[in-house]
């Protein structure tokens, strides 16, 4: 395929909820299926490995010092991803062996923040199998703040992939104008928005970002159904009591640089969604609008981005 074209795959799948090992195995199987379809970039939903903290909405998660919530949090932390321990080595090896780039949503338990708090992180693995960035979600949303920590600007970077420049943001970060602007300024023309799953989230913002940024936007979501909760889940009865049958219905989709649908939100099932994208369409749409180029006024408004990886201690 030409260097100004790319085949992308949106992996709309459910996790093996809060089971790191089993979810990793499912991710690798999904990658194999995408590779058979000649995908060059495969993207997964927010926090897919090992799953989104749905229990918070079903177990009175904001109750102070509630035993059940603490035990579920402990289970979550024990199944989260520590990159330094090699938890993503198999995924990186697959990327290298198949020359596939990957955006993967993980729940990260980073050693550089003490190894106890967790972050909703978006990992970019290049076609050589190297982890090029780990973007920790800047601002967890609503009840997410009861289990996830706020991240930093270290991962606000773009990556070269063939002739494309790719970027990624987590969930409601995509509603934040300044992180979007930081990506536009670095030349993104293929943006990945990852979500826990729901067309409620993707159906409006996907087309908006595409039109504002004059770029392709891949919104990738997970699915989650009541039947997906493993029987080994702590306090499962409490979760199931208030859980609807459909918790996350997917909604993965692709918008073109004119803001129109290439693939409308896909609802209600696990699937791999593919499309071939042509960079020339971006160049055509930038003719009349470029948010950080000819249609900008940096002499009037500018953005400062702090990319320093944050820590509570610096050893000298």
Q: Would you call the peptide bond into 222 cis, given omega within 30 degrees of 0 as the criterion?
A: no
Bigger pLDDT: 313 or 255?
A: 255
Q: Would you name the residues annotated as active-site residues?
A: 46, 137, 171
Tell me the mean pLDDT in the region 276-298.
97
- Does the pLDDT of residue 36 top 90, yes or no? yes
Q: Kindly report the pTM of this predicted structure.
A: 0.96
The band of 166, judged by pLDDT with boundaries at 50, 70 and 90, is very high
The band of 300, judged by pLDDT with boundaries at 50, 70 and 90, is very high
Bigger pLDDT: 61 or 175?
A: 175
- Does the pLDDT of residue 61 top 90, yes or no? no
CA distance 80 to 41: 24
pLDDT of residue 290: 96
Give the domain 5-285 fold: Nitrilase/N-carbamoyl-D-aminoacid amidohydrolase (3.60.110)
- Does the pLDDT of residue 24 top 90, yes or no? yes
302: tokens are 């500018």
pLDDT of residue 286: 97
Q: Which of 161, 148, 56 is nearest to 99 (CA)?
A: 161
- Does the pLDDT of residue 185 top 90, yes or no? yes
User: If you average pLDDT over every residue of the chain, what do you get?
Assistant: 96
pLDDT of residue 177: 97
In which residue are the tokens 């499309």 written? 275
β-bridge mates for residue 166, sequence order: 159, 190
Pairing of strands 261-267, 246-255: antiparallel
pLDDT of residue 178: 97
The band of 259, judged by pLDDT with boundaries at 50, 70 and 90, is very high
For the stretch 46-59, pLDDT in tens is: 999 999 999 999 99
- Does the pLDDT of residue 314 top 90, yes or no? no
pLDDT of residue 1: 81
Tell me the mean pLDDT in the region 291-299.
96
pLDDT > 70: what percent of the chain?
100
Domain chopping of the chain, boundaries: 5-285
For the stretch 124-142, pLDDT in tens is: 999 999 999 999 999 999 9
Tell me the mean pLDDT in the region 14-37.
97
CA distance 247 to 238: 15
60: tokens are 């009175």
């Amino acid at each position: 395929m030409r260097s100004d074209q790319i085949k992308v795959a949106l992996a709309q799948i459910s996790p093996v909820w809060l089971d790191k090992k089993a979810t990793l195995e499912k991710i690798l199987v999904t990658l194999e299926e995408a590779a058979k379809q000649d995908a060059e970039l495969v993207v997964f939903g927010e926090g897919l490995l090992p799953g989104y903290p749905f229990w918070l909405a079903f177990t009175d998660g904001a109750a102070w010092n509630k035993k059940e919530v603490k035990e579920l949090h402990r289970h979550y932390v024990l199944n989260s991803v520590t990159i330094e321990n090699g938890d993503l080595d198999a995924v990186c090896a697959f990327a290298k062996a198949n020359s596939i780039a990957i955006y993967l949503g993980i729940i990260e338990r980073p050693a550089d923040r003490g190894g106890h708090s967790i972050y909703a992180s978006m990992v970019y693995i290049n076609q050589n199998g190297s982890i090029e960035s780990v973007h920790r979600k800047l601002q967890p949303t609503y009840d997410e703040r009861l289990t996830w920590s706020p991240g930093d600007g270290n991962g606000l970077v773009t990556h070269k992939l063939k002739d494309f420049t790719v970027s990624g943001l987590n969930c409601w970060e995509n509603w934040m104008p300044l992180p979007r602007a930081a990506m536009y300024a670095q030349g993104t023309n293929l943006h990945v928005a990852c979500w826990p799953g729901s067309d409620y989230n993707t159906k409006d913002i996907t087309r908006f970002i595409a039109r504002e940024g004059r770029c392709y936007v891949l919104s990738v979501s997970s699915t989650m159904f009541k039947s997906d909760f493993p029987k080994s889940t702590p306090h499962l009865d409490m979760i199931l009591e208030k859980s609807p049958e459909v918790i996350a219905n997917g909604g993965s989709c692709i918008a073109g640089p004119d803001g129109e649908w290439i693939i409308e939100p896909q609802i209600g099932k696990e699937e791999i969604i593919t499309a071939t994208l042509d960079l020339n369409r971006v160049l055509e749409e930038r003719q009349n609008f470029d948010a950080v180029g000819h249609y900008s006024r940096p002499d009037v408004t500018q953005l400062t981005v702090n990319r320093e990886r944050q820590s509570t201690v610096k050893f000298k």
